[in-house]
Every structure is written in structure tokens, then in C-alpha cells.
Amino acid sequence: MNFGKMLLLLPLSLIATAQAEEIRIAVSDLLADNILAPLKVYGAENDTTFVVDSIGSLPALDRLRSDEVDLAIVAVPEGDELPRDEFNIYPFAYDVAVIVVNDSNPIDEISVAQLGGIFGSNEEFNFNTWGELGLSGWGSRNIKTLTVTSNKSIALELFKHSIFKGGGMKLSVSMVKDTEIEDLIGSDVASIAILSRMPKNSNIKVLMLSSGDDTYSPAFSPSDYNVHYGDYPIRLSFYMLYNMRDDVKLRSTIRELLNDEVATSLRANDFISLPDTLRRKFLIDLDLE
């Protein structure tokens, strides 16, 4: 899947004083709204103009290579190589797909292969009842599969990219509005759903996910640490990239993008921020350089 082609929007701009230093940034449209407000405040206080273009990840990299921008924040799907020999690179944030069930469901964790068998066609397995997953007393209870439809999230596409090995989504999967899906899961003990965020309904349980095919493989929740270190398997990573020669020029901007205000903005909009201890380490390293 080519995520770059999915992330195209018109440019956005922030304007400060005419004499201010100009920093040009190309950022994935999925993230742009989360950094505009903090940069606007910082620019006004530090006599800096930020020109922020909200575009696709591949065009952003092209602009960085051609010197049209100073900094790029891009999405990098799992398995894609980072151009570490070309640029300085910092991890920035993550998007995830969250798998949830009704809180009365006894299952607490599930594997990638099992998810493929529940939601996918032509996968290694094909599961239609909870009993087929080994749930005692649930032998004939059909699995009710749901996923959210939202123009603001790529959770479903991310799920397909991470889970399916060759098939597509089963026709039996119900597409549900974002405003309705949590109520449906909370009222149906047989349901399982793909969400773009951590649920707020207390009757819903988030499943831990395992990448292994056997029952002894460890499963992980979508915490900041588990997502950052790659233990949680359904994630899309975002990185900050810039030319090494611009290290001094961009140091303050990188520091601003790693601060608490931006992390809070990301989390409030259903992204996974870097673990706080890692952000603080990066900030200390920037101050020591």
C-alpha cells in the first residue's frame, strides 16, 4: 500500500512578522492540525515565521531533497527504509488501530493471525464463532465484526496493511459511524471492532495483540512504550527529517515539536506521542549539543 498517495491536502500557512526568520515545514496532513497552534505561539514569541505545507509524505520528502523545505514530518509504513544516510531523523508520533470487544467477553488478547481469520477473506484461518477461538461456553456464538467509517482516520487501511496477507475484508464486516460504534460494542457481547482511538465507553475492553502465531507469544497493549518500540503490531510511524547542515538552524524548532504542548495536542487527537522519558532525553541531548 502506498500511504503517501493517501495524504494529499491543500497547503496551510502560518504568518508572523515580515522580518522574522522563516522555517519551511512539509507535514503529513494527518498531523498538520496538531502542530499549527503550538508553532504559531512559538513563532510569535521568538520572531520566527513558520510556513507549513500539509501534503503527502512522498511529496514532502521530495521537497526536502530539493531544498524547498527545511523540515519534513512524514508517515513511514512498517517495512519501509528510512533515509538515515541523507538526513537527521527523530521519531515524532504514531497512529494505531485499536481492537476492542465488549467488557463481558472473556478474551483479553489476540494474535495477528487470528485477527486475519476474523476480519479477512482468503487468510490463513477463517473464524466465524468465538468457540473457534477457544472461548469456553461460547462455542456457537457468532463473532459480530464491526469497523468504523471516518474521513479523519486511516485506522481501517492501517489494519488491512498490517494484518492481511493477501485477501480483503470479509463482506460480513459491518461499517459503522464513528459516533455510533462504541454504543454498539458496549451493548453486544459478541462484537469485536477496529477503532481509531482508545474507547471511552466503560463497557468496552481493549485487547492486547500478539505478532506471533503460537499461544506462547507475548501480547502487548497500545501504550506509548509498546507502540514506540514496535511491540504493538498495528502502527503507522511519523518521523521528523532534516538536512544535517541545518542542525543549528532547526534545533529550536525540533525542541518545540518535542515539547509537552505538542505531545498533549497529539494525544488529544487520538495519536500516540513518544514516551515522555524519551522526549525528555531528546530535549536534554538538544540542549547539550
Pair (86, 136) in one structural domain: no
Residues 115, 217, single domain; the answer is yes
* Residue 37, pLDDT score: 86
Q: Binning pLDDT at 50, 70 and 90, where does residue 19 land? A: low
Same domain, 162 and 65: no
128 and 89: one domain? Answer: no
Which percentage of the chain shows pLDDT scores above 70?
A: 91
How does residue 215 score in pLDDT terms, banded at 50, 70 and 90? Answer: low
Q: Which of the four pLDDT bands, split at 50, 70 and 90, describes residue 11? A: very low
Q: Is the pLDDT of residue 4 over 80?
A: no
Q: Specify the pLDDT at position 175.
A: 93
Is 219 a residue whose pLDDT tops 90? yes
Co-location of 107 and 210 in the same domain:
yes
**Res. 285: pLDDT tops 70:** yes
Domain around 223: 98-228
Q: Within this chain, do residues 220 and 244 fall inside the same structural domain, yes or no?
A: no
Q: Which one, of 227, 270, 266, 233, lies nearest residue 73 by Cα?
A: 266
Do 10 and 84 lie in one domain? The reply is: yes
Same domain, 219 and 119: yes
Instruction: Say yes or no to pLDDT of 13 above 70.
Output: no
**Same structural domain for residues 90 and 104?**
no
- Contact yes or no for 33/60 (Cβ under 8 A): no
Q: 229-243: per-residue pLDDT in tens?
A: 999 999 999 999 999
Q: Are residues 211 and 258 in the same domain?
A: no
- Identify the domain boundary among 228, 244, 268: 228
Write the CA distances from 52 to 10, 120, 246, integer angstroms: 11, 39, 17
Indicate the average pLDDT of the chain. Answer: 88
- Number of domain units in the chain: 2
| pLDDT tens per residue, range 167-212 | 889 999 999 988 899 999 999 999 999 999 999 999 999 999 999 7
Asked whether residue 214 falls in the same domain as residue 161, the answer is yes
pLDDT per residue as tens digits for the range 64-117: 999 999 999 999 988 888 899 999 999 999 999 999 999 999 999 999 999 999
pLDDT at position 38 is 87
Edge-to-edge, what's the strand order for the sheet holding 144-149?
A: 174-177, 144-149, 191-195, 98-102, 204-206
Mean pLDDT along residues 253-272: 92
- Give the CATH number for residue 53: 3.40.190.10
Claim to verify: residue 125 and residue 207 sit in the same structural domain: yes
Residue 247 has pLDDT above 50, yes or no: yes
Domain boundary among 205, 228, 251: 228
- CA dist 93 and 86 (Å) reads 21
